[in-house]
């Protein structure tokens, strides 16, 4: 390790750097408090102060300190660096710094670099019609709002995968560090390849407090904290104190140490092929919360205490003394030394910021759509399953998809812009073909018996859904493509992360300077109906219910009934932009229904009648299905009806794109009412077999003409380890129940119908007895095959 100068800052640079920090702090206080008088050209009056004082001061001066020092090393080492703010409630820091470096005014010219612009900058913050208080999408340079704490490190790692030139400086709040996702994210360093990935520099912002509590890391011994970080594979560098000038020298030296170490690690891996896992540097910045703010207010300590978390002087109108304190606080930064008469940052300070795209607010990695290149995608038709007639046996739909994904991975290996993420389930979800072309990236030790592990690869697996999600989001936000494959039940673990990403997409879709990014694609295999090994704990189709709460312009949900449909859907998802696509598919051998051309047409429409499965006439009943298992049970039910009630006219409607069910006014995919009525009729019974919880179908269709006649079967929380067919029986989704449901709604079936119902009730008893004795389904269930009506009908 080359030694670094412990006092790297010359007196002049030290003075200017400190002034830059004061300028950022001044801007932060101005944003939180000031309505007018931005340069304090006259004594502060109550009318200069906003009525509602909103925002978070406590974290902000520390983040301003970090930002100013990062600017210095970016310039010194010509770094390609972005900033991720874990405690993103420190929005004033990032807004202020991107203003100081000039990017803010370039994107928002009205917020100009003069007095009028300063007034706007201050007024807009946390103000109706203005900007949010966090590092929101509106803030240049942000890929991480940080409103919901915990994801900063995972996002940062996602950003540097396949970005060998990039360093992400990731500020981790010491409170944030108590969250589960962040606690696990320290281990991301075991998945980082120093040769082909970039680097993350975590900066633990140890300001000691959360909202009203101390933090764990601040209240364990220093040695214990150091051992913790070392135990997680990091080399901590401590910067501790509260005296600004000393702290500037310490921070400058720490950053030089960290950058030199990162460069040395990368050089060893890149030039010498050294693959030993490095102990990457990280910084622990122990500084007072609310640093440089009021020390004591009304007899209570503020600086260095949890009381500085939000707005230290919360009501100057009611406490005239607070107005004076506020003025003293603002003037303490000596704005006259920082800004000229016009309100521009003085040139000797502006000169400290990096230039052009090296400014962290202007770095294109933080506006990933700018860098996004289309994926090379092979023609999905080339992976088609041959379906000469409906009902041919399939090997398991995701296994077919795996071959397609394998070739997507292969064709984009050179572009380094496609990865598949999952919590240890790529194999068990049926995507084994991927390992023909890429290993799993794993930078910890390996043993001879391991499979598919290598220092670099396009598959990322760690048993933390939070990491998979966070990594993928970071990867997408910086302009690449990917897929998250997960057990359906456990994707709920990231419900909240999905929420945040969907919110991000919603806002950025309407910011013209933000370019669209690739969609977040979920492949949920190992779904509720086929948890043969695991049972009840693994059965939960509720993620879809959660997803459809989000803005219709952002979310899409697909339930392809067979492999060819799955191929078509996934091709579409990988090409799409700025959506969250949820695709639910099976991995077990299952019948195939549509030949490729028909599948592509069906998926393009998203919903449609399967004429080959029903009767070619005005129906007596509509049998609708959505999901692979419900489709199978529906077709089996139709064949029972066909055999026993040959005069009954049945229409089969299959739904791939769930959003088709919503009215067109609610979702861009929604069917117009006339089209919905044409499929589902205005007055005939509809027996709807659904993959998920039944009430979702009611929720989506409640405004449709025929809603009162829609009877939905789906998962109703009955589960255990049992046979695949019994799972459907437990939830009344099986073919026998579907037929009985139909008969109940068709009194005209009379005696024939009554007899059939009796027969089916007996069948259900026989089924129970058989499985309890034999541990498998009845032969007639296991061996059931769709018998085509007429081979000539198009499928």
Ligand X SMILES: Cc1ncc(C[n+]2csc(CCOP(=O)(O)OP(=O)(O)O)c2C)c(N)n1
Nearer to ligand X, 89 or 365 (CB): 89
Beta strands per DSSP E along 47-175: 80-85, 166-173
150 versus 614: smaller Cβ distance to ligand X: 150
Of 421, 420, 418, 438, residue with least CA distance to 373: 418
The angle at the Cα of 440, spanning 436 to 446, to the nearest 5 degrees, equals 115
Please say which residue, 209 or 475, places its beta carbon nearer to ligand X: 209
Nearest-approach distance from CB 212 to ligand X, in angstroms? 9
Question: Considering the complex, what minimum distance in angstroms separates the CB of residue 97 from ligand X?
Answer: 16
Q: Which residue, 177 or 352, has its beta carbon nearer to ligand X?
A: 177
Q: 91 vs 422, which CB is nearer to ligand X?
A: 91
Q: Shortest Cβ distance from residue 177 to ligand X (Å)?
A: 7
Taking the complex as a whole, the smallest distance from the CB of residue 203 to ligand X amounts, in Å, to: 11
Euclidean distance between CA atoms 578 and 519, whole angstroms: 5
Q: Alpha-carbon dihedral of residues 658, 661, 662, 665, nearest 10 degrees?
A: 120
Which residue number, 56 or 660, has a Cβ lying nearer to ligand X? Answer: 56
Q: Which is nearer to ligand X, 62 or 619 (CB)?
A: 62
686 forms beta bridges with 622, 710
- In angstroms, what is the minimal distance from the CB of 8 to ligand X? 26
Kindly provide the residue ranges of all beta strands, DSSP E only, lying in 164-307, ordered along the sequence.
166-173, 199-206, 235-240, 281-286, 296-297, 300-301
CB of 149 to ligand X, least distance (A): 4
Radius of gyration of the chain (CA): 30
**Cβ–Cβ contacts within 10 Å for residue 105, how many?**
19
Question: Collapsing DSSP states into helix, strand and coil, what is residue 675?
Answer: helix
Can you give the binding site for ligand X, defined by CB under 6 A?
56, 58-59, 87, 89, 147-150, 173-176, 179, 205, 207, 209-211, 215, 289, 309
Smallest gap, in angstroms, from Cβ of residue 56 to ligand X? 6
Instruction: Return left, alpha or beta for 542; rule: phi > 0 is left, psi -120 to 50 is alpha, else beta.
Output: alpha
CA distances 775 to 269, 636, 760, 761, Å, are 55, 22, 21, 20
DSSP 186: G
Q: Could you tell me the smallest distance in angstroms from the CB atom of residue 63 to ligand X? A: 8
Backbone φ/ψ region at 53: left (φ over 0), alpha (ψ -120 to 50), beta: beta
* Residue closer to ligand X, measured from CB, 280 or 291: 291
Q: Which two tokens stand for residue 769?
A: 């007895």
CB of 153 to ligand X, least distance (A): 12
Nearer to ligand X, 211 or 759 (CB): 211
Of the candidates 189, 187, 213, the one whose C-alpha atom is nearest the C-alpha of residue 199 is 189
**Beta carbon nearer to ligand X, 89 or 119:** 89
Our CB check for ligand X shows the closer of 310 and 742 to be: 310
| Alpha helices (H) in 645-723, listed in sequence order | 673-680, 695-701
What is the closest distance, in whole angstroms, from the C-beta atom of residue 662 to ligand X in the complex? 31
Burial (CB count within 10 angstroms: exposed 0-12, middle 13-18, buried 19+), residue 229: buried
Sequence-ordered list of residues with C-beta below 8 angstroms from that of 730, at least 6 positions apart, any chain: 718, 719, 720, 722
Q: Which residue has the closest beta carbon to ligand X?
A: 173
- Choose among 692, 684, 683: nearest CA to 655: 692
CA distances from 128 to 91, 111, 124, 316 (A): 16, 16, 8, 20
Least distance from C-beta 174 to ligand X, angstroms?
A: 4
Distances (CA, A) of 598 to 388, 566, 570, 675: 12, 13, 16, 20
3-state secondary structure of 438: coil
Structure tokens at 354: 């990096």
Q: Give the shortest CB-68-to-ligand X separation in angstroms.
A: 17
What is the nearest approach in angstroms of ligand X to the Cβ of residue 109? Answer: 31
Least Å from the CB of residue 92 to ligand X = 12
Residue 386 per-residue DSSP state? P
Burial of 20 (0-12, 13-18, 19+ CB in 10 A): buried
Nearer to ligand X, 59 or 266 (CB): 59
Nearer to ligand X, 72 or 89 (CB): 89
Distance, CA of 746 to CA of 740 (rounded, Å): 10
Residue 393 DSSP SS3: strand
* Minimum CB–partner distance for residue 215 and ligand X (Å): 5
Q: Report CA torsion sign: 456, 459, 465, 468.
A: positive
**What's the min distance (Å) between Cβ of 82 and ligand X?**
19
Of 156 and 521, the one with the shorter C-beta distance to ligand X is 156
Instruction: Look at the alpha carbons of 593, 595, 596, 599 in this order and tell me if their dihedral is positive or negative.
Output: negative
* Minimum gap (Å) between residue 269 Cβ and ligand X: 32
Residue in 424, 759, 454, 402 with CA at minimum distance from that of residue 587: 402
Nearer to ligand X, 139 or 192 (CB): 139
CB nearer ligand X, residue 29 or residue 192: 29
Cβ proximity to ligand X: between 206 and 585 the closer is 206
Q: CA quadruple 37, 38, 39, 43: dihedral positive or negative?
A: positive
Give residue for tokens 């962290």. Answer: 360
């Amino acid at each position: 390790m080359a030694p670094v100068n412990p006092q790297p800052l010359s007196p002049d640079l030290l003075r200017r750097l400190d002034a830059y920090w004061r300028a950022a702090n001044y801007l932060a206080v101005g944003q939180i408090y000031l309505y007018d008088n931005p340069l304090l050209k006259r004594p502060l009056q109550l009318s200069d102060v906003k009525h509602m004082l909103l925002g978070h001061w406590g974290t902000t001066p520390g983040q301003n300190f970090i930002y100013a020092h990062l600017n210095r090393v970016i310039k010194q080492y010509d770094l390609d660096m972005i900033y991720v703010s874990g405690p993103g409630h420190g929005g004033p820091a990032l807004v202020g710094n991107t203003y100081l470096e000039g990017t803010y005014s370039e994107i928002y010219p009205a917020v100009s670099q003069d007095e009028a612009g300063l007034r706007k900058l201050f007024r807009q913050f946390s103000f109706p019609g203005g900007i949010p208080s966090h590092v929101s999408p509106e803030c240049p340079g942000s890929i991480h709002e940080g409103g919901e704490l915990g994801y900063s490190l995972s996002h940062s790692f996602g950003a540097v995968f396949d970005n060998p030139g990039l360093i992400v400086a990731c500020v981790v709040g010491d409170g944030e560090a108590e969250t589960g996702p962040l606690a696990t994210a320290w281990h991301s360093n075991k998945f980082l390849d120093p040769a082909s990935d970039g680097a993350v520099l975590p900066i633990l912002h140890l300001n000691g407090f959360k909202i009203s509590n101390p933090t764990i890391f601040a209240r364990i011994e220093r040695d214990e904290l150091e051992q913790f970080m070392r135990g997680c594979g990091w080399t901590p560098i401590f910067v501790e104190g509260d005296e600004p000038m000393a702290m500037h020298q310490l921070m400058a030296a720490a950053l030089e140490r960290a950058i030199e170490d990162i460069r040395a690690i990368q050089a060893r891996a890149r030039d010498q092929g050294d693959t030993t896992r490095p102990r990457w540097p990280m910084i622990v910045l122990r500084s007072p919360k609310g640093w440089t703010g009021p020390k004591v207010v009304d007899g209570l300590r503020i600086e260095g205490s949890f009381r500085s978390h939000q707005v230290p002087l919360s009501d100057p109108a009611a406490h005239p003394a607070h107005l004076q304190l506020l003025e003293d606080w603002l003037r303490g930064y000596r704005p006259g030394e920082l800004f000229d008469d016009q309100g521009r940052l003085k040139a000797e300070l502006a000169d400290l910021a990096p230039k052009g795209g090296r400014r962290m607010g202007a770095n294109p990695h933080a506006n990933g759509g700018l860098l996004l290149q289309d994926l090379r995608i092979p023609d999905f038709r080339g992976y088609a399953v041959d379906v000469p007639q409906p009902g041919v046996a399939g090997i398991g739909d995701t296994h077919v998809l795996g071959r397609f994904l394998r070739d997507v991975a292969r064709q984009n290996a050179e572009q380094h812009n496609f990865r598949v993420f999952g919590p240890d389930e790529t194999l068990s979800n049926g995507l084994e073909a991927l390992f023909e072309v890429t290993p799993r990236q794993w930078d910890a030790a390996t043993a001879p018996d391991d499979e598919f592990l290598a220092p670099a690869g396009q598959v990322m697996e760690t048993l933390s859904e939070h990491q998979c999600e966070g990594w993928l989001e970071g990867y997408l936000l910086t302009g690449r493509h990917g897929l998250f494959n997960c057990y359906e039940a456990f994707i709920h673990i990231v419900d909240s992360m999905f929420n945040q990403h969907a919110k991000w997409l919603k806002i950025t879709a309407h910011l013209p300077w933000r370019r669209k990014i690739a969609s977040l694609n979920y492949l949920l295999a190992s779904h509720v109906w086929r948890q043969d090994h695991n049972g009840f704990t693994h059965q939960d189709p509720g993620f879809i219910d959660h997803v459809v709460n989000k803005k219709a312009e952002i979310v899409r949900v697909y339930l392809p009934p067979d492999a060819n449909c799955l191929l078509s859907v996934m091709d579409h998802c990988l090409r799409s932009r700025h959506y969250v696509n949820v695709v639910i598919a099976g991995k077990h051998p299952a019948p195939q229904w549509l030949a490729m051309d028909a599948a592509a047409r069906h998926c393009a429409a998203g919903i449609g009648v399967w004429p080959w499965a029903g009767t070619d006439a005005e129906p007596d009943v509509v049998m609708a299905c959505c999901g692979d298992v419900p489709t199978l049970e529906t077709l089996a039910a139709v064949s029972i009806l066909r055999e026993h009630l040959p005069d009954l006219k049945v229409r089969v409607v299959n739904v791939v794109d769930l959003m088709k069910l919503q009215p067109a006014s609610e979702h861009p995919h929604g069917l117009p009412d006339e089209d919905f009525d044409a499929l589902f009729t205005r007055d005939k019974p509809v027996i709807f077999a659904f993959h998920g919880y039944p009430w979702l179908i009611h929720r989506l269709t409640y405004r449709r003409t025929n809603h009162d006649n829609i009877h939905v079967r789906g998962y109703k929380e009955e589960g255990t380890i049992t046979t695949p067919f019994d799972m459907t029986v437990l939830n009344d989704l099986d073919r026998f129940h579907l037929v009985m449901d139909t008969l109940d709604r068709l009194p005209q079936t009379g005696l024939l119908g009554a007899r059939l119902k009796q027969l089916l009730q007996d069948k259900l008893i026989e089924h129970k007895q058989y499985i309890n004795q034999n541990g498998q389904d009845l032969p007639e269930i296991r061996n059931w095959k769709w018998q085509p009506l007429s081979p000539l009908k198009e499928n």
